[in-house]
Amino acid sequence: MRHPVVMGNWKLNGSKEMVVDLLTGLNAELEGVTGVDVAVAPPALFIDLAERTLTDAGSAIILGAQNTDINNQGAFTGDTSPAMLKEFGATHIIIGHSERREYHKESDEFVAKKFAFLKENGLTPVLCIGETEAQNEAGETESVCARQIDAVINLLGAEALNGAIIAYEPIWAIGTGKAATADDAQRIHASIRAHIAEKNADVAKNIVIQYGGSVKPENAAAYFAQPDIDGALVGGAALDAKSFAAIAKAAAVAKAQ
């Protein structure tokens, strides 16, 4: 049985005050909630404060990050290494988000290197994949997702996906309020799982595949009712404790059935 994971991607949002308020509020909202792993990825600068806040609260919320470098130290101005993330308790690291791919020109191959380096450092990659609106309209969704996953499989083998998380995020649905329908998302998730199964059926069966793109408390349950949707990567709605907790609770309820 796959255990659902709901992760909040805070993107470039936050302040010291917000980190403490949001995490304290979220922790209270999640009291007694079991059956779902809840993770947050604050901006790197706030991971230290997030760790201290979660530790003080005795929280089970998992700490993550939004990106990593592919070196642990050296002359790489502006970057953050897996070793640093690990020292501050961050375990679930988002890589290949479409905003990194687009604004920082990150290629499939570069993202695969990040995947490899996270694994090497004992961290959990949250590998984002997904198609643009034009690719979607051209019927290329499944081939784009397969290509993005194959960059990792070609570099490391399908077994490397063991224990990692995939986040399927159609780019046209991110931050737009134009979410994919639960049926469409399920179809793509099933195709992603089938693609991995061609290489390794066990890995495909066990890997957590999240949906991301305008997930809100109002639409979350419909996604989690789908057999191949194992959680969500949440942007906007993760900035509000009540909304994000409602999404996590919906996953716990749906997957307990």
- Active-site residue list: 97, 169
Q: Which stretch binds ligand PGA (CB under 6 A): 101-109, 150-158, 169-177, 200-208?
A: 169-177
The two structure tokens encoding residue 203: 């890995």
Q: Residues binding ligand PGA: what is the number (CB under 6 A)?
A: 13
Residue choice 26, 129, 208, 233 for contact with ligand PGA (CB under 6 A): 233
Q: Which stretch binds ligand PGA (CB under 6 A): 64-72, 104-112, 149-157, 210-218?
A: 210-218
Of 123 and 234, nearer to ligand PGA (C-beta) is 234
Of 164 and 234, nearer to ligand PGA (C-beta) is 234
Nearest residue to ligand PGA, scored by beta-carbon proximity = 235
SS3 readout for the chain:
CCCCEEEEECCCCCCHHHHHHHHHHHHHHCCCCCCCEEEEECCHHHHHHHHHHHHHCCCCCEEEECCCCCCCCCCCCCCCCHHHHHHCCCCEEEECCHHHHHHCCCCHHHHHHHHHHHHHCCCEEEEEECCCHHHHHCCCHHHHHHHHHHHHHHHHCHHHHCCCEEEECCHHHCCCCCCCCHHHHHHHHHHHHHHHHCCCHHHHHHCEEEEECCCCHHHHHHHHCCCCCCEEEECHHHHCHHHHHHHHHHHHHHHHC
What would the x/- binding string for ligand PGA be over residues 122 to 151, using CB under 6 A? ------------------------------
107 is in an annotated binding site: no
Q: Which stretch binds ligand PGA (CB under 6 A): 29-37, 57-65, 149-157, 209-217?
A: 209-217
Q: Does the protein bind ligand PGA through residue 96 (CB under 6 A)?
A: no
φ, ψ of residue 227 in degrees (nearest 5)? -65, -30
What would the x/- binding string for ligand PGA be over residues 53 to 72, using CB under 6 A? --------------------
Q: Which residues are annotated as a binding site?
A: 9-11, 175, 214, 235-236
Binding site for ligand PGA (CB under 6 A): 9, 169, 174-175, 212-215, 233-237
Q: Which residues does the annotation place in the binding site for substrate?
A: 9-11, 175, 214, 235-236
